[in-house]
Structures are given as C-alpha cells and as structure tokens.
Amino acid sequence: MKKSKLGLIITMLIWGSIGIFVRNINSTSSQIALVRALVGSIFLIIFSLFSNECISKENIKSNFIVLICAGICLGFNWIFLFQAYKYTTISISTICYYIAPIIVMFLAPLLLKEKLTIIKVLCIISAMIGMFCIVGIDKSNVGSNSILGILYGLGAACLYAGVVILNKFLKDISGRDSSLVQLSVAAIFLIPYVLFTDKISFAGESYLSIVLLLVVGIVHTGVAYLIYFTVIQNLPSQTVAIYSYVDPISAIIMSSILLGEKMSLLQVMGGVLIIGSTFISEIYEGKVKLKEETVITEEE
C-alpha cells in the first residue's frame, strides 16, 4: 500500500512538472502532442512485449469505437493544454484544466444517468465563481493573450472531460491496454493534422528541445501512465482522488519557484474555489460509491 501511494505521488509530481518542460520546447503545441503520443505509445508497446501480460485483442475490439473517440479527444486535449501554457501562466492553465471534473459532473446526469445532488450543484456553482474570479474581475492582471490562454485551458478541460466520460463506457479492459490504444489512436490522428497545419519537421530544433521532447514522451507519458495504471489497482478510488491533487498543487508551486509566475489574491481565491470544489466532489463521489458497495455486499 505504501509503495502504491508513493508511486501515485511520483506520477502526480511528474504530470505536475510537464508545463515546465513544454515551456522550454520550441516546437508547436501540435508537434509536441504528436511526439508525446508517439513516444508514449511506443514505450508502452515495448513494455508489453517484455512483460508477462498479453494485450487482450478481444477486449480492445469490443471497446474499439469508444477507444478511438477517447484517443482523438486525448490528442487534441494535449494541443489545447500546451497552447494554454504558451499564452498564460502554468498556474492559471492548470487551474482552468482542473475544471474538467466539474464538466463531467455537469454532464453525468445527461450522459451517464447519474444523479445531480445538492453537493454537486454547489460544487459546480463554486467552480463557476472561481472561474469568474480568475477571468471576469481582475482585468488589469489578465491581458488579451492570457484570456486566449484561459480559453485554450477551458477547451482542454472540455476535451479531457470527454476522455473521462468515454472511458466510463469501457468494459472489461485493463488500464494498460486502454491507455496503449488511446495513445496510439491519438498519434495516428495527430499525424495528418500536423502535416496539414505545421508540417512534421524538427530540423531547426535545438538539442535541448529534442531532449525535452523525449522526456515528455518517455517520462511524462510512457512511464507516468504505466506507474499510474499499476498503482491504482492497489488503492481505493477515494485515495486515488485525494492524491491526484498533488498534480495541480505541485504545478502551481513549481511554476512559482522555477518560472517566477505570480497570481493575484483574487486569482488565488478563484483557484482555491475550483480545486476545492473538484476535491469535495471527488470525495463525495467516493463516499457514495463506498456506501453503495457496502449495501450490495450486505444484501449478498
């Protein structure tokens, strides 16, 4: 259990640092997303070949349509997030991105037939107030570029919410197989997109950019996904939800220390409202699931 928790913390710290790396890569957002998907999927394929676990072709086939849609959303989600890093601070980008669970909560009653409770409604309202604090009041601290970055961050959140919702429709497939297929699909669909928009060319890239691209692909994608899907099998969902907040908090702290990024007091308050509301909703959801599982066990 302790090793699994440590592995989860390491994964969240890795994901929390991705903005620092992306900021120092000269490539376009779509090129970075393509390399991340390609290198990450190749890493997982190589790992699968050397591991004892075989890839389940039958389970992949039965979930193929959902996996394709999720993979497409995942690839373009990265493009939007990396664009957000370029136009606004990593702190604000991360906070905007973390509104994804609120979007999922809002759409769940329509798409997943889940109940919208008073707690969830309050969390949605809290997150909306938080976004208003970040964008709608402090105009002196938010320029036109920052507004564009915030919009990219919200776009990334919508796409990631799509990934989360689509993954809820997956049945009888391991996390490793799921992530492998989704990364591969993201890479396949990003290749023509990059060809028609930016063109695939890394000739003018510096040595540092190439190294950082490989780190993002291998460490932030292949290794991080592998650790994540390994450790969550040994941890309760509520524990995973709590430890997941190491990601945004570490991203904000690292960007402040390493890049000197600052947020106004109002923006800090907005961030607390958004991250706090998603945290409460995750904990509440975990308790509800635990209660339902307990009731089912008692009935049996």
Contact of 138 with 267, CB cutoff 8 Å:
yes
Least confident of 13-27, 63-77, 107-121: 107-121
If pLDDT is split at 50, 70 and 90, which confidence band does 111 have? confident
Who contacts 134 (Cβ-Cβ below 8 Å, separation ≥6)?
92, 95, 96, 142, 150, 266, 267, 270, 271, 274
Domain boundaries, the chain: 2-299
Token reading at 127: 């997150």
Q: How many whole angstroms separate alpha carbon 118 and alpha carbon 16?
A: 31
pLDDT digits (tens, 9 = 90+) for 67-86: 999 999 999 999 999 999 98
Q: Where is pLDDT greater, at 12 or 132?
A: 12
157 burial (CB, 10 Å; 0-12 / 13-18 / 19+) is buried
Mean pLDDT of the 150-155 span: 92
Mean pLDDT of the 235-264 span: 79
Residue 72 pLDDT: 95
Residue 233 pLDDT: 67
Does the pLDDT value for residue 298 go beyond 60?
no
If pLDDT is split at 50, 70 and 90, which confidence band does 295 have? very low
Does the pLDDT value for residue 138 go beyond 50?
no
Mean pLDDT of the 39-53 span: 84
Does the pLDDT value for residue 152 go beyond 60?
yes
Mean pLDDT of the 126-140 span: 69
Token reading at 197: 């928009």
Mean pLDDT of the 115-126 span: 80
Q: How many whole angstroms separate alpha carbon 149 and alpha carbon 90?
A: 10
Does the pLDDT value for residue 140 go beyond 60?
no
Mean pLDDT of the chain: 83
Mean pLDDT of the 151-173 span: 90
Least confident of 18-22, 48-52, 174-178, 258-262: 48-52
Residue 135 pLDDT: 66
Mean pLDDT of the 212-225 span: 91
**From start to end of the chain, where are the E strands?**
none
Residue 293 pLDDT: 54
Residue 128 pLDDT: 81
Q: Where is pLDDT greater, at 283 or 43?
A: 43
Residue 118 pLDDT: 83
